[in-house]
């Protein structure tokens, strides 16, 4: 009998304002336990090189997945937002228990064919420690969990490797009572996403033996906050026939900026306090589809290498969006077919029970507002040269990337088509 692994990817992005909550309890990154002892940081020698080695492969996967999601007819006219890093990490964690063709297919689709399993898993181990920022100005948490059916015993090596490389914690769930199981899983997810995602799981199959959960939570404060009095009502052009009214934030300041005349695109980097920045890519009117077809990691690097600090007049909508995907079929289209079939080999999880993955669910939330800091706007004074600055007015669909600078990782990416949805 084949038993399903219900494979779940969970993430949360939130940029908060003055109602920011402080969390006194230590995060999982501060207290990562292994056999009752605090797990030491992996050696930075070699680990950093491995995490950087993963970066271009993760970026290629990110853009491949984005193009699949953007091409879906159901995505037309809708916002797109997801964490490619969370999905790559979750699939790599699943690969810990995969063998043979199932394993090689997962690695091939993720772009890891020229990397060894040790390089990939050690790379993510280092990456997770690098992402573990928890400061007053910024909170960045990532981790994993296994929600295991009572009575089902995964191999000890799989449990230890999940904990060691992916900071995965395990807990038991009674899937014979689906309604209760849904509540228990959602309670865990809500805790990890600071109550921003409270009903991620809608239903669970009684045959489920395990959920693989991965999450990324980001809370950042603008390095240069937008002033609330300058936020005004403005029109956002969803398409040539549709306009919506948004709260448009405005700020003039020094930002890294590049105007790509060849590709009809403006690019601006809006930094948070810490090592994270938001890259905003605004194509000229009518050029979004053309940009989506050509954009890749090389294009991003091309822009980053040419950006220069200068005064910019930026208009950005204040918005809160949520996106939810069931991406099993999309992953199959990208080459991961064996994991969802009755020929799947997850003997690295259990040698006694035949397992296969059944669903992959991904949800993301993004909230952008003016402050994200308690009083910084009142204490920051910026002097800029007097000149007529270029204007970046985000009043039509634009692409957004949340980038962690030290690991060169794309944490989140998407397209804002309608800020009011």
Q: Is the pLDDT of residue 73 over 60?
A: yes
Question: Does one domain contain both 287 and 346?
Answer: no
> Which domain does 178 fall in, by range?
2-221+321-367
Q: 397 lies in a domain?
A: yes
Which residue would you say has higher pLDDT here, 259 or 365? 259
Coil, strand or helix at 380:
coil
β-pairing, 409-416 with 80-82?
antiparallel
Q: Give the bridge partners for 360, in sequence order.
A: 7
Which residue would you say has higher pLDDT here, 382 or 211? 211
What mean pLDDT value characterizes the chain? 81
CA end-to-end distance (rounded Å), the chain: 43
Q: 20 is written with which tokens?
A: 């920011």
CATH assignment at residue 55: 3.30.497.10
225 and 377 Cβ atoms separated by less than 8 Å: yes
Q: Is the pLDDT of residue 385 over 80?
A: no
- What confidence tier does 201 reach under pLDDT thresholds 50, 70, 90? confident
User: How would DSSP label each residue in 343-401?
Assistant: T---TTT-SSSEEEEEEEEEEEEEEE-S--SSSHHHH-------S---EEE--S-EEEE
Q: 421 lies in a domain?
A: no
Which residue would you say has higher pLDDT here, 135 or 375? 135
Q: What is the pLDDT of residue 236?
A: 94
Q: 27 lies in a domain?
A: yes
Q: What is the pLDDT of residue 14?
A: 32
Outline where 72-112 has alpha helix (H): 84-95, 100-110
- What confidence tier does 388 reach under pLDDT thresholds 50, 70, 90? low
Whole-model pTM: value is 0.84
Question: Does one domain contain both 357 and 379?
Answer: no
CATH assignment at residue 233: 2.30.39.10
Q: Is the pLDDT of residue 211 over 70?
A: yes
Question: Does one domain contain both 96 and 193?
Answer: yes
- H or E element that contains 82: strand 80-82
Radius of gyration of the chain (CA): 22
Q: 282 is written with which tokens?
A: 């605004």
339 and 98 Cβ atoms separated by less than 8 Å: yes
Q: What is the pLDDT of residue 29?
A: 33
Question: Does one domain contain both 30 and 67?
Answer: yes
- What confidence tier does 36 reach under pLDDT thresholds 50, 70, 90? very low
- Look at the chain and report how many structural domains it folds into: 2
């Amino acid at each position: 009998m084949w038993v399903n692994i219900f494979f779940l990817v969970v993430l949360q992005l939130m940029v908060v304002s003055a109602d920011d909550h402080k969390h006194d309890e230590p995060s999982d990154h501060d207290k990562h336990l292994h056999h009752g002892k605090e797990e030491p940081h992996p050696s930075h020698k070699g680990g950093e090189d491995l995490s950087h080695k993963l970066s271009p492969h993760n970026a290629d996967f990110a853009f491949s997945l984005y193009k699949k999601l953007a091409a879906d007819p159901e995505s037309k006219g809708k916002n797109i937002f997801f964490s490619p890093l969370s999905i790559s990490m979750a699939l790599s964690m699943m690969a810990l228990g995969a063998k043979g063709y199932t394993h090689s297919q997962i690695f091939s689709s993720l772009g890891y064919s020229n990397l060894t399993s040790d390089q990939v898993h050690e790379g993510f181990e280092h990456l997770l420690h690098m992402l573990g920022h928890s400061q007053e100005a910024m909170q960045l948490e990532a981790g994993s969990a296994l929600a295991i059916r009572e009575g089902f015993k995964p191999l000890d090596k799989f449990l230890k490797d999940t904990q060691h490389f992916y900071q995965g914690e395990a807990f038991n769930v009674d899937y014979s009572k689906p309604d209760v199981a849904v509540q228990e899983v959602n309670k865990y997810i809500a805790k990890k996403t600071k109550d921003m995602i409270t009903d991620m799981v809608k239903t669970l199959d009684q045959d489920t033996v395990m959920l693989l959960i991965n999450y990324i939570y980001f809370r950042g404060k603008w390095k240069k906050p937008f002033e609330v009095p300058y936020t005004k009502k403005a029109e956002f052009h969803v398409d040539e026939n549709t306009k919506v009214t948004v709260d448009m934030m405005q700020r003039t300041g020094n930002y890294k900026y590049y105007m790509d005349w060849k590709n009809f695109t403006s690019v601006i980097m809006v930094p948070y306090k810490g090592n994270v920045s938001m890259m905003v890519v605004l194509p000229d009117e009518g050029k979004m589809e053309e940009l989506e077809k050509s954009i890749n990691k090389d294009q991003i690097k091309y822009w980053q290498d040419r950006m220069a600090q200068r005064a910019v007049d930026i208009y950005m909508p204040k918005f809160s969006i949520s996106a939810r995907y069931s991406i099993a079929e999309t992953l199959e289209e990208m080459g991961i077919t064996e994991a969802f079939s009755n020929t799947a080999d997850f003997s690295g999880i259990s040698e006694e029970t035949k397992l296969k993955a059944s669903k992959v669910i991904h949800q993301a939330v993004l909230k952008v507002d003016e402050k994200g800091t308690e009083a910084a706007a009142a204490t920051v004074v910026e002097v800029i040269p007097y000149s007529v600055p270029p204007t970046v007015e985000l009043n039509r669909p634009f692409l957004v990337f949340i980038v962690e600078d030290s690991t060169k990782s794309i944490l989140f990416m998407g397209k804002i088509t309608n800020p009011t949805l």
